[in-house]
Amino acid sequence: MTDVPGWKKTGIITVEELKKFGLIPPEERLKKGPCVIVECPEEIPCNICVSACPVGAISKEKIYNIPKVDWEKCTGCGNCVLICPGLACFVVDLSHDDYALVTVPHEFLPPKVGEKVILLGRDGRKLGEGEVVRVIERNKTYAITVKVKPELAMEVRAVWKKMK
């Protein structure tokens, strides 16, 4: 079982590991504006993201290959965030000076724009709070865009509504 990667034992993948799969765009690209990060390191038989992308930025040679993203083509529209059945697509935008924008998929009751939500990491750890700046929906999957500290842009991967 030595060949089983760590993320297959924990369900948590690191940014370093994602980089090795070629799934993390270069920082210069993220500084130009929103871009997708597909956290899909396993060769599963699915190509929904490929057909979801309106600009053809995501490709797969075989249905079970790991997705390949053309960072320059990607506009960060968030369509794949809404459609990916694995909820594995995220959009990160580092084009602002004092904050970053992260878009995460959400299939719980949605927060409203302006609402403060709890930010969660890949391991479920609470990473503070962030303000919701955009909410879009398709077939009951929401894409929630939150303002976060720039250093949390690669860590925040879910949000949770605060209890009243």
Partner 1 sequence: MIAVPGVDRRIYQHPILDFKWRGRKIKFYFEGKEVIGYEGESIAAALYANGIEIWSLSKKYNRPRGPFCMIGKCSSCFCTVDGRPNVRICIEPVKEGIHVQRQKGLPDIPTTWKTAEEEEILETDILIIGGGPAGLSAALKASEYDVNIILVDEHFKLGGQLKKQTHKFFGSKELFGGLRGFQIAEKLTEEIKKRKNIRVLTQTTAYGLFRGNWVGLASYNKLYRVKAKCIIVATGAHENYLAFPGNDLIGVMGAGGAQTLMNEYGILPGKNVVVVGSGNVGLIVSYQLLQAGANVKCIVEILPHIGGWFVHAAKVRRYGIPIYVKHTVKEAIGKERVEKVIITQVDEKFQPIPGTEKEIECDLLLLAVGLTPDIRFLAQAGCKMKWNSALGGFVALRTRYLETTVPGVFVAGDASKIEEATTAMIEGQIAALSAVIKIKGPIEKAVKEREELLKFLEEYRKSPVLRRTREGLKEVVIE
Query: By CB under 8 A, what part of segment 114-153 binds partner 1?
Result: 120-125, 139-141
Q: Measured from the CB atom, is 96 or 126 closer to partner 1?
A: 126
Q: Measured from the CB atom, is 61 or 98 closer to partner 1?
A: 61
Q: Is 74 in the site for partner 1 (CB under 8 A)?
A: no
Interatomic CA distance for residues 83 and 139, integer angstroms: 8
Strands 68-69 and 58-59: antiparallel
In the structure encoding, which two tokens stand for residue 86, read together?
């694995």
Min separation Cβ 76 and partner 1, Å: 20
Number of residues that bind partner 1 (CB under 8 A): 45
Q: Measured from the CB atom, is 47 or 59 closer to partner 1?
A: 47
Min separation Cβ 8 and partner 1, Å: 5
Interatomic CA distance for residues 96 and 140, integer angstroms: 30
Query: CB of 58 within 8 A of CB of 36?
Result: yes
Q: Measured from the CB atom, is 51 or 95 closer to partner 1?
A: 51
In terms of C-beta distances under 8 Å and separation of at least 24 residues, what long-range contacts does 23-30 make, across chains too?
Answer: 23/66, 23/67, 23/69, 24/154, 25/69, 25/71, 25/74, 25/92, 26/71, 27/94, 29/71, 29/72, 30/92, 30/93, 30/94, 30/95, 30/153
Query: CB of 134 within 8 A of CB of 103?
Result: yes
Min separation Cβ 152 and partner 1, Å: 14
From the list 28-36, 101-109, 128-136, 143-151, the region that binds partner 1 by CB under 8 A is: 101-109
Query: By CB under 8 A, what part of segment 12-71 binds partner 1?
Result: 12-13, 39-48, 51-52, 62-64
Which residues lie near partner 1 (CB under 8 A)?
1, 4, 7-13, 39-48, 51-52, 62-64, 83, 85-88, 107-110, 120-125, 139-141, 157-158, 160
